[in-house]
Homo-oligomer: A and B are copies of this chain.
Amino acid sequence: MTGPRYTDLVTGLPASVPFVGPETQERARGRPFRARLGANESLFGPSPRAIAAMQDAAREAWKYGDAQNHDLRVALAEDLGVAPENVMVGEGIDGLLGYLVRMLVAPGDAVVTSAGAYPTFNYHVEGYGGVLHKVPFAGDHEDPDALIAKARAVGAKLVYLSNPDNPMASWHPAERVQAMIDSVPDGTLMILDEAYIEFAPAGTAPPIAADDPRVIRFRTFSKAHGLAGARVGYAIAAAPLIAAFDKVRNHFGMCRISQAGALASLSDRAWLAEVRARVSAARDRIAEIARGNGLTPLPSATNFVTVDCGADGDFARRVLAELAARDVFVRMPGVAPLDRCIRISAGPGDQLDVLAEELPRALEAARG
Protein backbone atom coordinates (compact mmCIF):
# COMPACT_ATOMS: atom_id res chain seq x y z
CA MET A 1 0.00 0.00 0.00
CA THR A 2 1.54 3.28 -1.08
CA GLY A 3 -0.55 5.59 1.09
CA PRO A 4 -1.76 9.03 -0.03
CA ARG A 5 -0.13 10.63 -3.05
CA TYR A 6 0.54 14.21 -1.99
CA THR A 7 1.02 16.94 -4.56
CA ASP A 8 4.63 17.78 -5.36
CA LEU A 9 4.08 21.17 -3.77
CA VAL A 10 2.86 19.74 -0.46
CA THR A 11 5.54 17.04 -0.44
CA GLY A 12 8.12 19.82 -0.50
CA LEU A 13 6.60 21.83 2.34
CA PRO A 14 8.14 21.77 5.81
CA ALA A 15 5.95 20.76 8.74
CA SER A 16 6.90 24.01 10.43
CA VAL A 17 4.45 26.09 12.41
CA PRO A 18 4.41 29.90 12.17
CA PHE A 19 4.05 30.29 15.94
CA VAL A 20 4.26 27.96 18.91
CA GLY A 21 1.25 28.74 21.07
CA PRO A 22 1.49 29.41 24.80
CA GLU A 23 -0.53 26.29 25.65
CA THR A 24 1.91 24.18 23.63
CA GLN A 25 4.77 25.74 25.58
CA GLU A 26 3.00 25.20 28.87
CA ARG A 27 2.54 21.51 28.13
CA ALA A 28 6.23 21.22 27.19
CA ARG A 29 7.25 23.05 30.38
CA GLY A 30 4.87 21.13 32.56
CA ARG A 31 3.51 24.26 34.21
CA PRO A 32 1.48 27.33 33.27
CA PHE A 33 2.82 30.80 32.64
CA ARG A 34 2.12 33.40 35.30
CA ALA A 35 2.18 36.23 32.76
CA ARG A 36 0.76 35.72 29.24
CA LEU A 37 2.36 38.66 27.46
CA GLY A 38 3.57 37.12 24.21
CA ALA A 39 0.72 36.79 21.71
CA ASN A 40 -0.48 40.42 21.61
CA GLU A 41 -3.87 39.30 22.82
CA SER A 42 -6.02 41.84 24.64
CA LEU A 43 -5.65 40.89 28.27
CA PHE A 44 -8.37 43.41 29.10
CA GLY A 45 -10.84 40.99 27.59
CA PRO A 46 -13.79 41.32 25.24
CA SER A 47 -16.51 43.93 25.64
CA PRO A 48 -19.11 42.92 28.25
CA ARG A 49 -21.68 43.32 25.47
CA ALA A 50 -19.74 40.89 23.30
CA ILE A 51 -19.52 38.37 26.14
CA ALA A 52 -23.27 38.61 26.72
CA ALA A 53 -24.01 38.25 23.01
CA MET A 54 -21.78 35.19 22.76
CA GLN A 55 -23.37 33.64 25.83
CA ASP A 56 -26.78 34.09 24.24
CA ALA A 57 -25.55 32.73 20.92
CA ALA A 58 -24.13 29.62 22.59
CA ARG A 59 -27.68 28.29 22.95
CA GLU A 60 -28.14 28.72 19.20
CA ALA A 61 -24.88 27.01 18.28
CA TRP A 62 -26.88 24.18 16.71
CA LYS A 63 -27.52 26.49 13.74
CA TYR A 64 -24.86 27.00 11.10
CA GLY A 65 -23.64 30.59 10.98
CA ASP A 66 -24.94 32.88 8.27
CA ALA A 67 -22.76 32.04 5.28
CA GLN A 68 -22.88 35.65 4.08
CA ASN A 69 -21.98 37.21 7.44
CA HIS A 70 -24.67 39.67 6.43
CA ASP A 71 -25.33 41.58 9.63
CA LEU A 72 -21.66 41.98 10.47
CA ARG A 73 -20.76 43.04 6.94
CA VAL A 74 -23.49 45.64 6.88
CA ALA A 75 -22.46 47.01 10.28
CA LEU A 76 -18.80 47.13 9.29
CA ALA A 77 -19.61 48.81 5.98
CA GLU A 78 -21.64 51.46 7.74
CA ASP A 79 -18.88 51.98 10.27
CA LEU A 80 -16.24 52.30 7.54
CA GLY A 81 -18.29 54.35 5.12
CA VAL A 82 -18.13 51.75 2.36
CA ALA A 83 -20.60 49.36 0.73
CA PRO A 84 -21.15 45.84 2.10
CA GLU A 85 -19.78 44.65 -1.26
CA ASN A 86 -16.44 46.11 -0.20
CA VAL A 87 -16.22 43.99 2.96
CA MET A 88 -15.41 40.29 3.40
CA VAL A 89 -15.58 38.67 6.83
CA GLY A 90 -13.47 35.59 7.49
CA GLU A 91 -11.82 33.31 10.01
CA GLY A 92 -9.34 35.90 11.29
CA ILE A 93 -6.84 37.78 9.15
CA ASP A 94 -4.92 34.49 9.00
CA GLY A 95 -7.79 32.77 7.24
CA LEU A 96 -8.41 35.67 4.87
CA LEU A 97 -4.70 35.94 4.01
CA GLY A 98 -4.76 32.26 3.14
CA TYR A 99 -7.69 32.73 0.77
CA LEU A 100 -6.10 35.80 -0.85
CA VAL A 101 -2.77 34.08 -1.41
CA ARG A 102 -4.58 31.08 -2.89
CA MET A 103 -6.44 33.36 -5.31
CA LEU A 104 -3.33 35.10 -6.61
CA VAL A 105 -0.24 33.00 -6.04
CA ALA A 106 0.65 30.04 -8.25
CA PRO A 107 3.95 28.17 -7.92
CA GLY A 108 6.82 30.44 -8.85
CA ASP A 109 4.89 33.71 -8.47
CA ALA A 110 6.75 36.53 -6.77
CA VAL A 111 5.61 38.06 -3.48
CA VAL A 112 7.33 40.86 -1.57
CA THR A 113 7.43 41.44 2.16
CA SER A 114 9.87 42.64 4.82
CA ALA A 115 12.43 40.38 6.45
CA GLY A 116 11.02 39.88 9.93
CA ALA A 117 7.39 40.74 9.07
CA TYR A 118 4.35 38.54 9.75
CA PRO A 119 5.40 34.86 9.53
CA THR A 120 1.89 33.53 8.89
CA PHE A 121 1.71 35.50 5.64
CA ASN A 122 4.98 33.84 4.59
CA TYR A 123 3.56 30.45 5.59
CA HIS A 124 0.65 30.95 3.21
CA VAL A 125 2.86 32.19 0.34
CA GLU A 126 5.21 29.22 0.67
CA GLY A 127 2.24 26.91 1.08
CA TYR A 128 1.02 27.87 -2.39
CA GLY A 129 4.48 27.72 -3.94
CA GLY A 130 5.08 31.47 -4.15
CA VAL A 131 8.58 32.89 -4.08
CA LEU A 132 9.15 35.34 -1.23
CA HIS A 133 11.37 38.34 -1.80
CA LYS A 134 12.23 40.06 1.47
CA VAL A 135 13.55 43.57 1.90
CA PRO A 136 15.11 44.72 5.16
CA PHE A 137 13.45 47.10 7.59
CA ALA A 138 14.78 50.64 7.48
CA GLY A 139 15.80 50.91 11.10
CA ASP A 140 12.77 49.82 13.08
CA HIS A 141 10.27 50.61 10.30
CA GLU A 142 9.09 48.68 7.30
CA ASP A 143 10.45 50.42 4.21
CA PRO A 144 7.72 51.37 1.72
CA ASP A 145 10.14 52.58 -0.94
CA ALA A 146 12.21 49.42 -0.83
CA LEU A 147 9.07 47.26 -0.86
CA ILE A 148 7.74 49.03 -3.94
CA ALA A 149 11.10 48.95 -5.71
CA LYS A 150 11.39 45.22 -5.07
CA ALA A 151 7.79 44.59 -6.17
CA ARG A 152 8.53 46.40 -9.41
CA ALA A 153 11.82 44.59 -9.95
CA VAL A 154 10.40 41.08 -9.47
CA GLY A 155 6.92 41.68 -10.91
CA ALA A 156 5.30 40.79 -7.60
CA LYS A 157 1.67 39.75 -7.44
CA LEU A 158 1.48 40.84 -3.80
CA VAL A 159 3.39 43.29 -1.63
CA TYR A 160 2.77 43.25 2.12
CA LEU A 161 2.91 46.15 4.58
CA SER A 162 1.65 46.16 8.13
CA ASN A 163 0.89 49.56 9.60
CA PRO A 164 1.28 49.77 12.55
CA ASP A 165 3.98 47.18 12.31
CA ASN A 166 4.32 43.86 14.08
CA PRO A 167 6.86 42.99 15.58
CA MET A 168 8.43 46.46 15.95
CA ALA A 169 5.31 48.43 17.01
CA SER A 170 6.42 51.24 14.69
CA TRP A 171 4.16 53.06 12.26
CA HIS A 172 4.11 55.34 9.28
CA PRO A 173 1.81 58.34 8.97
CA ALA A 174 -1.11 58.04 6.57
CA GLU A 175 0.58 60.19 3.92
CA ARG A 176 3.53 57.83 3.68
CA VAL A 177 1.24 54.80 3.32
CA GLN A 178 -0.93 56.58 0.76
CA ALA A 179 2.20 57.42 -1.23
CA MET A 180 3.05 53.72 -1.21
CA ILE A 181 -0.45 52.83 -2.44
CA ASP A 182 -0.08 55.45 -5.17
CA SER A 183 3.15 53.87 -6.37
CA VAL A 184 2.02 50.23 -6.42
CA PRO A 185 3.11 48.84 -9.80
CA ASP A 186 0.53 47.72 -12.31
CA GLY A 187 -0.33 44.08 -11.69
CA THR A 188 0.71 44.15 -8.04
CA LEU A 189 -1.81 44.12 -5.21
CA MET A 190 -0.78 45.75 -1.95
CA ILE A 191 -1.82 44.15 1.31
CA LEU A 192 -2.21 46.73 4.05
CA ASP A 193 -2.46 44.84 7.33
CA GLU A 194 -4.03 47.16 9.88
CA ALA A 195 -4.53 44.62 12.67
CA TYR A 196 -3.33 47.14 15.28
CA ILE A 197 -4.84 50.28 13.78
CA GLU A 198 -7.14 50.98 16.75
CA PHE A 199 -4.09 51.61 18.95
CA ALA A 200 -2.39 54.02 16.54
CA PRO A 201 -2.44 57.82 16.71
CA ALA A 202 -4.98 59.66 14.57
CA GLY A 203 -3.53 60.15 11.12
CA THR A 204 -2.03 56.68 10.81
CA ALA A 205 -4.64 55.09 8.54
CA PRO A 206 -4.95 56.52 5.04
CA PRO A 207 -8.51 57.32 4.00
CA ILE A 208 -10.43 54.26 2.85
CA ALA A 209 -10.97 54.39 -0.92
CA ALA A 210 -12.63 51.01 -1.07
CA ASP A 211 -12.81 50.80 -4.85
CA ASP A 212 -9.09 51.34 -5.33
CA PRO A 213 -7.98 48.11 -7.06
CA ARG A 214 -4.38 48.51 -5.87
CA VAL A 215 -4.86 47.68 -2.22
CA ILE A 216 -6.68 45.31 0.12
CA ARG A 217 -6.81 46.19 3.81
CA PHE A 218 -7.16 43.74 6.65
CA ARG A 219 -8.51 44.46 10.10
CA THR A 220 -9.49 42.22 12.98
CA PHE A 221 -11.50 41.68 16.13
CA SER A 222 -8.51 39.82 17.63
CA LYS A 223 -6.66 42.83 19.03
CA ALA A 224 -8.51 45.91 20.31
CA HIS A 225 -11.82 44.01 20.44
CA GLY A 226 -10.31 41.23 22.56
CA LEU A 227 -11.75 38.40 20.46
CA ALA A 228 -8.64 36.57 19.24
CA GLY A 229 -10.15 33.23 20.21
CA ALA A 230 -13.33 33.95 18.27
CA ARG A 231 -11.55 34.21 14.90
CA VAL A 232 -13.11 37.16 13.14
CA GLY A 233 -11.17 39.28 10.68
CA TYR A 234 -12.27 41.35 7.72
CA ALA A 235 -10.96 42.65 4.44
CA ILE A 236 -11.82 45.94 2.75
CA ALA A 237 -11.26 46.09 -1.00
CA ALA A 238 -12.79 46.72 -4.40
CA ALA A 239 -16.02 44.79 -4.95
CA PRO A 240 -14.68 42.40 -7.66
CA LEU A 241 -11.84 41.29 -5.39
CA ILE A 242 -14.19 40.86 -2.43
CA ALA A 243 -16.54 38.82 -4.63
CA ALA A 244 -13.68 36.57 -5.72
CA PHE A 245 -13.30 35.27 -2.14
CA ASP A 246 -16.58 33.43 -2.76
CA LYS A 247 -14.75 31.20 -5.25
CA VAL A 248 -12.47 29.69 -2.63
CA ARG A 249 -13.65 30.43 0.89
CA ASN A 250 -15.23 28.01 3.30
CA HIS A 251 -18.72 29.47 2.98
CA PHE A 252 -20.05 28.06 6.23
CA GLY A 253 -16.71 28.45 8.02
CA MET A 254 -17.60 31.20 10.48
CA CYS A 255 -18.54 30.34 14.04
CA ARG A 256 -22.04 31.63 14.75
CA ILE A 257 -21.10 32.62 18.30
CA SER A 258 -18.19 34.66 16.98
CA GLN A 259 -20.39 36.46 14.47
CA ALA A 260 -22.64 37.53 17.33
CA GLY A 261 -19.70 38.58 19.51
CA ALA A 262 -18.08 40.69 16.81
CA LEU A 263 -21.34 42.44 15.97
CA ALA A 264 -21.96 43.32 19.61
CA SER A 265 -18.38 44.45 20.10
CA LEU A 266 -18.56 46.77 17.14
CA SER A 267 -21.37 48.68 18.81
CA ASP A 268 -19.52 49.10 22.10
CA ARG A 269 -17.50 52.27 21.48
CA ALA A 270 -17.09 52.87 25.19
CA TRP A 271 -15.31 49.56 25.69
CA LEU A 272 -12.97 50.27 22.80
CA ALA A 273 -12.07 53.64 24.33
CA GLU A 274 -11.53 51.96 27.70
CA VAL A 275 -9.24 49.33 26.16
CA ARG A 276 -7.27 51.99 24.34
CA ALA A 277 -6.77 53.91 27.57
CA ARG A 278 -5.70 50.80 29.49
CA VAL A 279 -3.33 49.78 26.70
CA SER A 280 -1.80 53.23 26.69
CA ALA A 281 -1.21 53.08 30.45
CA ALA A 282 0.20 49.56 30.16
CA ARG A 283 2.58 50.65 27.42
CA ASP A 284 3.86 53.41 29.72
CA ARG A 285 4.34 50.94 32.54
CA ILE A 286 6.19 48.43 30.29
CA ALA A 287 8.42 51.26 29.04
CA GLU A 288 9.14 52.28 32.61
CA ILE A 289 9.98 48.71 33.62
CA ALA A 290 12.27 48.39 30.60
CA ARG A 291 14.06 51.65 31.31
CA GLY A 292 14.38 50.78 34.96
CA ASN A 293 16.34 47.72 33.82
CA GLY A 294 18.58 49.67 31.45
CA LEU A 295 16.70 48.59 28.33
CA THR A 296 15.23 50.79 25.61
CA PRO A 297 11.50 50.65 24.86
CA LEU A 298 10.64 51.57 21.28
CA PRO A 299 7.73 53.89 20.54
CA SER A 300 4.53 51.87 20.05
CA ALA A 301 1.33 52.33 18.04
CA THR A 302 0.12 48.86 19.01
CA ASN A 303 -0.95 46.90 22.10
CA PHE A 304 2.61 45.77 22.76
CA VAL A 305 5.99 47.35 23.41
CA THR A 306 9.08 46.20 21.60
CA VAL A 307 12.05 46.49 23.92
CA ASP A 308 15.61 46.79 22.66
CA CYS A 309 17.74 44.61 24.93
CA GLY A 310 20.86 46.51 23.88
CA ALA A 311 22.88 43.66 22.42
CA ASP A 312 22.50 40.98 19.74
CA GLY A 313 19.91 38.33 18.97
CA ASP A 314 21.66 35.71 21.06
CA PHE A 315 21.36 37.90 24.11
CA ALA A 316 17.68 38.68 23.48
CA ARG A 317 16.97 34.98 22.97
CA ARG A 318 18.61 34.29 26.33
CA VAL A 319 16.46 36.98 27.96
CA LEU A 320 13.38 35.39 26.38
CA ALA A 321 14.38 31.94 27.63
CA GLU A 322 15.12 33.23 31.12
CA LEU A 323 11.76 35.00 31.24
CA ALA A 324 10.04 31.77 30.16
CA ALA A 325 11.93 29.88 32.86
CA ARG A 326 10.41 32.41 35.28
CA ASP A 327 6.91 31.79 33.85
CA VAL A 328 6.71 34.94 31.75
CA PHE A 329 5.57 34.34 28.15
CA VAL A 330 6.83 36.91 25.66
CA ARG A 331 7.95 36.67 22.03
CA MET A 332 10.59 38.36 19.88
CA PRO A 333 11.33 39.26 16.26
CA GLY A 334 12.77 36.45 14.15
CA VAL A 335 15.56 38.11 12.17
CA ALA A 336 18.56 40.35 12.77
CA PRO A 337 18.89 43.17 13.58
CA LEU A 338 15.28 43.28 14.85
CA ASP A 339 16.04 40.29 17.05
CA ARG A 340 17.98 42.43 19.50
CA CYS A 341 14.47 43.12 20.88
CA ILE A 342 11.77 41.32 22.80
CA ARG A 343 8.08 42.08 22.37
CA ILE A 344 5.84 42.50 25.42
CA SER A 345 2.04 42.69 25.19
CA ALA A 346 0.07 45.24 27.17
CA GLY A 347 -1.69 43.75 30.16
CA PRO A 348 -3.30 44.60 33.48
CA GLY A 349 -1.26 45.57 36.53
CA ASP A 350 -0.94 42.14 38.08
CA GLN A 351 0.53 40.72 34.87
CA LEU A 352 3.00 43.58 34.60
CA ASP A 353 3.91 43.14 38.27
CA VAL A 354 5.13 39.67 37.36
CA LEU A 355 7.17 41.17 34.53
CA ALA A 356 8.61 43.84 36.84
CA GLU A 357 9.58 41.17 39.33
CA GLU A 358 11.12 38.71 36.89
CA LEU A 359 12.78 40.91 34.25
CA PRO A 360 15.76 41.93 36.46
CA ARG A 361 16.38 38.28 37.35
CA ALA A 362 16.06 37.17 33.73
CA LEU A 363 18.51 39.86 32.62
CA GLU A 364 20.98 38.91 35.31
CA ALA A 365 20.77 35.24 34.30
CA ALA A 366 21.07 36.12 30.61
CA ARG A 367 24.19 38.18 31.32
CA GLY A 368 25.73 35.71 33.74
Where the two chains meet, the residues of A that have a C-beta atom closer than 8 Å to any C-beta of B are 1-10, 13-15, 17-21, 23-24, 27, 36, 39, 41-46, 50-51, 54-55, 57-68, 70, 91-92, 94-95, 98, 102-106, 109, 127, 157, 186-187, 189, 213-214, 222, 226-231, 238, 240-241, 243-244, 246-248, 250-258, 261
A222 to B62, CA, bound (A): 7
Are A255 and B241 in contact, CB atoms less than 8 angstroms apart?
Answer: no
Name the one of B2, B21, B46, B64 contacting A187, with C-beta atoms under 8 angstroms: B2
Are A230 and B61 in contact, CB atoms less than 8 angstroms apart?
Answer: yes
Chain B residues in 8 Å Cβ range of A222: 64
A120 to B246, CA, bound (A): 13
Smallest distance from the beta carbon of A337 to chain B beta carbons, Å? 28
Are A227 and B104 in contact, CB atoms less than 8 angstroms apart?
Answer: no
Q: Which residue of chain B has its CB nearest to the CB of A71?
A: B23
Name the one of B18, B67, B238 contacting A24, with C-beta atoms under 8 angstroms: B67
Name the one of B104, B189, B261 contacting A61, with C-beta atoms under 8 angstroms: B261
Name the one of B14, B50, B103, B255 contacting A231, with C-beta atoms under 8 angstroms: B255
A227 to B58, CA, bound (A): 9
Please indicate which of the listed interface residues A66, A104, A226, A252 has the most CB atoms of chain B within 10 Å of its own CB: A252
Query: How many monomers of this chain does the complex have?
Result: 2
Are B41 and A58 in contact, CB atoms less than 8 angstroms apart?
Answer: no
Are A7 and B103 in contact, CB atoms less than 8 angstroms apart?
Answer: yes
Smallest distance from the beta carbon of A68 to chain B beta carbons, Å? 6
Contact A229 to B67, CB < 8 A, known contacts A95-B253, A250-B91, A257-B54: no
Please indicate which of the listed interface residues A15, A23, A45, A243 has the most CB atoms of chain B within 10 Å of its own CB: A23
Contact A98 to B62, CB < 8 A, known contacts A21-B67, A67-B19, A68-B23: no
Are B64 and A21 in contact, CB atoms less than 8 angstroms apart?
Answer: yes
Are B15 and A98 in contact, CB atoms less than 8 angstroms apart?
Answer: no
Known: A10-B102, A50-B58. 19 other contacts (CB 8 A): A1-B214, A5-B104, A9-B106, A10-B248, A15-B243, A21-B64, A21-B251, A23-B66, A42-B62, A51-B61, A54-B58, A55-B58, A63-B228, A65-B231, A91-B250, A92-B252, A95-B250, A127-B248, A257-B258
Contact A62 to B91, CB < 8 A, known contacts A5-B157, A13-B247, A55-B55: no
Task: List 5 A–B pairs whose Cβ atoms lie within 8 Å, in order of A's numbering.
Answer: A3-B241, A7-B109, A21-B252, A63-B228, A255-B257
Q: Which 4 A-B pairs have the closest CB atoms?
A: A229-B256, A3-B213, A54-B58, A62-B226
A253 to B189, CA, bound (A): 25
Are A66 and B21 in contact, CB atoms less than 8 angstroms apart?
Answer: yes
Chain B residues in 8 Å Cβ range of A66: 21, 23-24
Contact A213 to B4, CB < 8 A, known contacts A61-B228, A230-B257, A256-B229: yes
A60 to B227, CA, bound (A): 9
Smallest distance from the beta carbon of A257 to chain B beta carbons, Å? 5
Chain B residues in 8 Å Cβ range of A251: 17-19, 21
Chain B residues in 8 Å Cβ range of A253: 91-92, 94-95, 231
